[in-house]
Structure 1
Amino acid sequence: MYDTENDRTTFLEKTKAARLEREHAKKKEDSIILIQSHARKWLAKRNIRQQILKEFDELIHENTELKCCKQIYQLAKKFLWIWNKEEDKTRFEYLCRYINASLDSKSPSLSYIGVFLIKEHTQTWIAHIKNILWKCCLYLSDSKIDSADMKNVLVLLHTLVSFTSTNTWSLLKNNNAILISLDQLCHNFMGHLYSKGFYSVLKDILMKGLMRSKITLKNVALSGVITLATRPLISSGLSDKLIHNFLTHILCVPALMKHLEQNAPLISQYLKIKLPPYFFLSQDILMKGLMRSKITLKNVALSGVITLATRPLISSGLSDKLIHNFLTHILCVPALMKHLEQNAPLCLKQFENEEVLKRCLEVLSNQEEAQHIFNKLEGNYVLCMIGNLIHLSYLQLNSHMKEVKFPLYTVVLTRLLSMLQEYVSNKQSNLTTWHPILGWFAQTYDPKLTESLPLVKSQLFLLWSDLMVDSLLTDPLQVVLKSADESAGTVVPSSQPTGSSNIIKICIKQQTQLIVIHRKRLLEDGYRQLAKIPPHSLKGIVRVRFINVQGLDEAGIDQDGVFKEFLEETIKCVFDPGLNLFKVTSEERLYPSPTSYLHDSHLQLFEFVGRMLGKAVFLGVVVLSFFLSQVLGYTSQALYSCMDELPSLDTDLYRSLTYVKHYPGDVTDLDLTFSVDEDVMGRLVTHELTPGGKVIPVTNQNKINYIHLMAHFRMHTQIKHQTTAFIKGFKSIINPEWLSLFSTPELQRLISGDNSPLDLTDLRRYTVYYGGFHDSHKVVLWLWDILNKDFNEEERKLFLKFVTSCSKPPLLGFAHLEPPFSIRCVEVTDDEDTGDTIDLLDFLLLQFVTSCSKPPLLGFAHLEPPFSIRCVEVTDDEDTGDTIGSVIRGFFTIRKKDPQHRLPTASTCFNLLKLPNYQRKSTLRDKLRYAITSNTGFELS
């Protein structure tokens, strides 16, 4: 039995070995066949290439005579099929030379254009020429533009120039019938080259040839490049897109115009004929690029346009004629100086160095010249010009403005405004007609101008800024006062104080806004009512009346304390990560949630939150720590790096990207792509960091680019819309100029205060006592001991909020708390009252009921709201503390029963704690803890 089994096993093994041997032989045979096929393919391609190159070398060489165009076309197609960029450079140059030479022939059979006239070859010939032209561009991009390469460069440029215009096609001189269609064909060629990056190639040539100590680009080559650059521009009718490329790729070449004047004067003259004059062209570009809600003119393009506009101005020595054109075509562009300040500050520096403003004012000081300029411009654009003059002078306050500010500056502005007044008076206008700018002019609606109006208005407002008023009026005012002092007699002092701050406060009577807020609907009611209030009104006085959970009005009377509590509670509510408007970083800083779009109208909510935070800063209310680099506008600065700021937002991502940056091996091992996956409501959403990023792997060569793109996505792209809406709301309350005074840590401290624990020693040092209390009183000693030893940090914050409506201390300490924190004994006996005396009664009563110990400057008739007294009749249990009854009893020491059943109360408007005279420390601790944690709103006020 065993022998049979062994024989069977041996048989199976032999059979298996034979099968494997056959399979191996089959694979070996297949491999041999595959290798042979590749070898035969390579040999065949080599033989075909050698045969085509042999035919090419026999037919086309350096001094080839013209042959049948169809024969050359067929050979050129084969050559381009097997063309190798490095090996066939010389042959391609010979082909271009031959084609250029054939264009001089008038014979359709010899000219290379003749192939186009053969119907069956028309479409393939067009694609063939496009292929040749782009290969010319490729060779030009690789060229060093030196003397060794110049011969080849000229041939390639000649080919491009020849096929982008029909001017050199001799065949068409006697055949005008097809001229129009062939002109269109040249436009087609230019469009193809433009779509593949033609202007970038021309820029490379200019940069390589001109940016040297000794220029290597010959005059004829320079002329060719500029000709190629302007042909698409002119054929398109100066379209916005081509103008943009012309500015960003051609006019940004350093000293280009100077090189053209010196080395290619004919081209310089050609530009003056073919292109509109500098000022007209610049004005057209600026109007199209800047008069929009979203600027489309990039910084480099804007700088190029201004350079184009100012060069003839400066080269002429700021002549009156060119200054006239500069005023009527450049300075009339709405808010131009504001855009230059933000996007091209170097241009403003050039204006300052060349004293452009001074010359403009000198020209406008001439009555006839000013009237001429005014007549050229429509009234709206005269106002835009005034806005730009004001803004430019504002930016130059510390330099040339000192020389021209008075009386020249004031005379010019007064004259222009007077002309506007006459213009308005002479126009027939229906007073009910909507006026596009400042409500002055009735005319055709211009949507682009309307979009620019807020910026123009902000420029005009600069005329009334502190710096401008001080600069314009300080010297004249000193002269007037000096002359007045010399001629003045005895001065009788006023019986009333005339402090400027008090006068201003009285003169500026702000309208009070009243809102009604339900405790259960803080955010909803606040958003519904405050979102309708314009920003300038929100900067004024806003009063709040709370409705408690029972639907009844709370007892608190808002003298800023109630509104501050509403503000803090609202901000606390919207900053709650559970609402998904904001998220919290690992450092407990808030930033906009990328998935906030799940809320309806989430961008409007962010604008509202920005307003509320701005109002909090305006009032000095400190809130939670916030992510601020976007708010300060640092993202637009040249030195800003998303990667450097990333740790403040996402520490984990920063560590991961740092790990990728310093990864010792091949980054492809990490299997990363230029995309990021996000889990949104259980669904995986992929965001591409760059077009096609899902299929682009991260390698050692591109990992730095990946790191920066990832950081930019996290810091900017992902929260771009939320941040924009938030900043819009914030800056509608807080002037952006104020923000520029602070660094990020300083503004963070201004908004969020210090994170240090509550300093009870500082609070006690600046506490004021009334009603018999003093610093050594037993109840007062109990209070400070309870706060220090029995209460935790959270309870101390609740206590501070209970008495001041804010849970964080003032930014600079309690010395700056206004009014100072005070503690009043609400129930005292005759023996216990050692504080208030009859001598201080009037002083204390006035301070208690108005929060100010002095009467109004102009008398009590101007006290707003008027002083009022309400009669109350309550029992011990009903008395809530903050009533005139308790005040009078405190002042006149009316005897009361033991206050053990009363709770501490507070008046947050006056930072006042009203404390019963408890007999036991435990009672004080329990009652105080209950009062600060019960969250009863102003029912204990």
Structure 2
Amino acid sequence: MAKPELVRHDAFYMKELNDMIDIKRDYDFWQTRRYLTIDKKIVSFCDYAFLFDLKAKILLLQYHGQLEMQEAIRNAFMHNFQTMMGARVETVNPLLMLHVHRNTIVKDTIAQLDKYKDDDFKKPLQVYFHNEEGLDAGGIRKEFFLLLTKEILNPQYGMFTVYEETGTIWFNDFYDEEVEPMYKLIGTLCALAVYNITIIDLPFPLVLYKKLLNKIKIDLDDMKSLSPTIHHSLKSLLHYKEDDLETTLCYAFDIEREFYGERRRIELKTGGSSIMVNQKNKQEFIDLYIDYVFNKSCEKQFQAFASGFRRVINSKPLELFYPDELMSFVIGNTNYDWNEFQKKTEYKGEYHANHPVIQWFWQVFHKLVENEKKKFLLFLTGSDRVPVFGWSQTLPMTIQRSHTDDIHLPVSHTCFNILDLPSYSSKEILKTKLLEAIQHNQGFNLV
């Protein structure tokens, strides 16, 4: 008998709720009713969160974050007022401030985050790069996350295994206590990005979010997101019906792993290297294999990651999410509809959609290769990814004229997605200057 197919959770979404009810007000009631003497028959839609679509859940998570930020700022000001009155000794900053050097961004970030208390992570994040004049209204923060993520995932740290087939990463098997702060930092980084509504490019598979939310059982299908080849091999083993399995496939209850170029065999159970897989125990072998890869091999690494995440976000709205929803919110998407991007663009001053320079710009832009377009997006916004709901969820690009010569490069104001585009004398010069700008995109200064 065929296994019944489960109904996907999004089949229960009631998108109409976004328009029918005040979701924020419903959430306030849901949070406070335990302190109130009210009729128990009065319910909150938050009790039936499976009805909320992803848009509603993100709204609730952001709303909860805003409330926590407001409370953290209010507490800081109250503390500072008491300091002025002589009741306290030190003032506190109402913001979570990070001052980092580009060439020591990981070291600086770890050192500063370690000094903060958990309550400080509820404050709005503001980042400053050493010797750069830019004011962080969002753009610097986006670049900070981008650069820090890129550096942490550097293979030199040996923290993650990269699966070339899928481009995803997973925790390295061999735990080193010296890098535990790094795992915790990545968890904190991930949560801070969510908390401060910033997309972050962490190429973890869906299983990470399953573990983080502890909602859905991890199984063989999760291996496909890491290695389709291993997934196919295990599936083939599962479906192999012949009695010669033991002598034909020659699997034992162990697994080969690599660490800094050294190959090691890890037993999946006591004496596993001498226990051959057969028709009777093959399901046990597959279960142990999956459990080792996603749980036992990375128990301490994931615990450090999760503790870093939970020090920032450990709220009720997070419980409303399913793993795939949280993943989409964290990393955004890579469905680049560049025609829609153009349609959403606005113009200021003498520029308009039919202006010759603007027409040249779009002719040049649409002929760029995909990677160059993503670099332009990074140049413009501080991130090379699109929010989960596409361009409608972010500020549209605004193009305005800056100079009337062929000397200056285009300049971006990432905080507001504004492009200062000189009025070049030809399309060829525009292309040259645009490519030069996006290829040398790093650093914030006041312009």
Structure 2 residue 194 is the aligned partner of structure 1 residue 617? yes
Of 757, 764, 784, the residue aligned with 2:362 is 784
Q: Is the 8 A contact 1:512 1:540 kept in 2?
A: yes
Kindly tell me the number of residue pairs found equivalent between the two proteins.
373
Q: Distance in 1 between matches of 2:213 and 2:256?
A: 24
Q: Compute the displacement of 1:940 (Å).
A: 7.9
SS in 1 for 2:207: coil
One-letter code of the match for 2:253? F
One-letter code of the match for 1:777? H
Q: Is the 8 A contact 2:188 2:311 kept in 1?
A: yes
Structure 2 residue 223 is the aligned partner of structure 1 residue 646? yes
Of 329, 336, 348, the residue aligned with 1:750 is 329
Structure 2 residue 117 is the aligned partner of structure 1 residue 534? yes
Of 138, 159, 170, the residue aligned with 1:581 is 159
Q: Is the 8 A contact 1:905 1:940 kept in 2?
A: no
Counterpart of 1:515? 98
Of 909, 921, 924, the residue aligned with 2:430 is 924
Counterpart of 1:823? 399
Q: Is the 8 A contact 1:583 1:591 kept in 2?
A: yes
Cα distance change of structure 1 residues 571 and 505 upon mapping to structure 2, 3 Å threshold: closer
- 1:370-769 matches, cutoff 5 A: 466-470=29-33, 472-473=35-36, 508-509=73-74, 511-547=94-130, 553-577=131-155, 579-585=157-163, 586-595=165-174, 597=175, 601-624=178-201, 625-633=203-211, 640-663=217-240, 664-669=242-247, 670-735=249-314, 737-757=316-336, 759-769=337-347
SS in 1 for 2:311: helix
One-letter code of the match for 1:692? G
Counterpart of 1:797? 374
Q: Is the 8 A contact 1:632 1:740 kept in 2?
A: no
> Hey, which of these two has a bigger chunk of helix by percent?
1
Question: CA offsets, 1:591-616, max 9 Å, x none?
Answer: 22224x35x62222111101111111
SS in 2 for 1:622: coil
Q: Compute the displacement of 1:750 (Å).
A: 1.3
Q: Compute the displacement of 1:465 (Å).
A: 7.2
Q: Is the 8 A contact 1:632 1:739 kept in 2?
A: no
Q: Is the 8 A contact 1:649 1:715 kept in 2?
A: no
Q: Is the 8 A contact 2:344 2:397 kept in 1?
A: yes
One-letter code of the match for 1:658? K
Q: Distance in 2 between matches of 1:590 and 1:512?
A: 32
Q: Is the 8 A contact 2:110 2:181 kept in 1?
A: no
Q: Distance in 2 between matches of 1:540 and 1:568?
A: 20
Q: Is the 8 A contact 1:904 1:928 kept in 2?
A: yes
Q: Compute the displacement of 1:716 (Å).
A: 1.4
Cα distance change of structure 1 residues 932 and 703 upon mapping to structure 2, 3 Å threshold: same
Question: CA offsets, 1:408-444, max 9 Å, x none?
Answer: xxxxxxxxxxxxxxxxxxxxxxxxxxxxxxxxxxxxx
Question: CA offsets, 1:273-326, max 9 Å, x none?
Answer: xxxxxxxxxxxxxxxxxxxxxxxxxxxxxxxxxxxxxxxxxxxxxxxxxxxxxx
Cα distance change of structure 1 residues 756 and 826 upon mapping to structure 2, 3 Å threshold: same
Q: Distance in 2 between matches of 1:761 and 1:724?
A: 43
Cα distance change of structure 1 residues 535 and 504 upon mapping to structure 2, 3 Å threshold: closer
Cα distance change of structure 1 residues 472 and 785 upon mapping to structure 2, 3 Å threshold: same
- 1:272-291 matches, cutoff 5 A: none
Q: Distance in 2 between matches of 1:752 and 1:732?
A: 20
SS in 1 for 2:206: coil
Q: Is the 8 A contact 1:643 1:712 kept in 2?
A: no
SS in 2 for 1:740: helix
One-letter code of the match for 2:424? Y
Q: Distance in 2 between matches of 1:693 and 1:822?
A: 62
Q: Distance in 2 between matches of 1:604 and 1:533?
A: 14
Q: CA RMSD in A?
A: 3.0
Cα distance change of structure 1 residues 815 and 681 upon mapping to structure 2, 3 Å threshold: closer
Structure 2 residue 350 is the aligned partner of structure 1 residue 772? yes
Identity %: 28
One-letter code of the match for 1:716? N
User: What is the TM-score of this pair, normalised by structure 2?
Assistant: 0.75
Cα distance change of structure 1 residues 468 and 914 upon mapping to structure 2, 3 Å threshold: closer
> Hey, which of these two has a bigger chunk of strand by percent?
2
Q: Distance in 2 between matches of 1:636 and 1:778?
A: 55
- 1:3-42 matches, cutoff 5 A: none
Q: Distance in 1 between matches of 2:322 and 2:67?
A: 33
Q: Distance in 1 between matches of 2:262 and 2:191?
A: 36
Cα distance change of structure 1 residues 825 and 641 upon mapping to structure 2, 3 Å threshold: closer
Q: Distance in 2 between matches of 1:566 and 1:805?
A: 9
Cα distance change of structure 1 residues 581 and 749 upon mapping to structure 2, 3 Å threshold: same
Q: Distance in 2 between matches of 1:824 and 1:634?
A: 44
Question: CA offsets, 1:496-515, max 9 Å, x none?
Answer: xxxxx999987744612332
Task: Give unpaired runs (5+ residues) of structure 1.
Answer: 1-463, 477-500, 548-552, 828-897
Counterpart of 1:311? none
Counterpart of 1:902? 408
Cα distance change of structure 1 residues 673 and 783 upon mapping to structure 2, 3 Å threshold: same
Q: Distance in 2 between matches of 1:695 and 1:681?
A: 26
Q: Compute the displacement of 1:468 (Å).
A: 4.4
Question: CA offsets, 1:39-65, max 9 Å, x none?
Answer: xxxxxxxxxxxxxxxxxxxxxxxxxxx
Q: Is the 8 A contact 2:133 2:444 kept in 1?
A: yes
Cα distance change of structure 1 residues 521 and 641 upon mapping to structure 2, 3 Å threshold: closer
Q: Is the 8 A contact 1:618 1:734 kept in 2?
A: yes
Q: Compute the displacement of 1:589 (Å).
A: 2.3
Counterpart of 2:58? none
Q: Distance in 1 between matches of 2:339 and 2:305?
A: 38
SS in 2 for 1:584: strand
SS in 2 for 1:909: coil
Q: Distance in 2 between matches of 1:750 and 1:512?
A: 24
Q: Is the 8 A contact 2:252 2:273 kept in 1?
A: yes
Q: Is the 8 A contact 2:99 2:127 kept in 1?
A: yes
Cα distance change of structure 1 residues 636 and 936 upon mapping to structure 2, 3 Å threshold: closer
Q: Distance in 2 between matches of 1:677 and 1:707?
A: 14
Q: Distance in 2 between matches of 1:634 and 1:700?
A: 34
Q: Distance in 1 between matches of 2:140 and 2:98?
A: 11
One-letter code of the match for 1:521? T
Q: Distance in 1 between matches of 2:342 and 2:391?
A: 9
One-letter code of the match for 1:824? Q
Which structure would you say has the larger RCO, counting Cα contacts within 8 Å and 6 or more residues apart? 2
Larger Rg: 1
Q: Is the 8 A contact 1:574 1:582 kept in 2?
A: no
